[in-house]
Amino acid sequence: GSDDIIAGNVSKYIVLPAGYCGQPKKGHLVFDACFESGNLGRVDHVTEFEYDLFIRPDTCNPRFRVWFNFTVENVKESQ
């Protein structure tokens, strides 16, 4: 569930639709937070235009998630 502890950052994580088989194509987003201050712990695909993002808590203040830092690649036009 969403209350699970997220221990690490996603690293060049390709989000594919459920049931999709084959090579990723344009529009299959690639999330990356594997760098200093990155804090994206998990990504769930909802629809082509909607994703649930789970941000890891701040190291010094685990009660709050007030900032985010990650990259997104492989977007297609008007996505």
Give per-residue pLDDT as tens, 6-59: 668 889 999 999 899 999 999 999 999 988 788 899 999 999 889 999 988 877
Cβ within 8 Å of residue 53, ≥6 positions away: 31, 40, 42, 43, 68
Establish if 57 belongs to a structural domain: yes
pLDDT at residue number 3: 53
Domain total for the chain?
Answer: 1
* Higher-pLDDT residue of 2, 27: 27
pLDDT at residue number 12: 92
Domain hosting 47: range is 7-18+25-78
Whether pLDDT at 2 is above 60: no
pLDDT at residue number 6: 64
Establish if 2 belongs to a structural domain: no
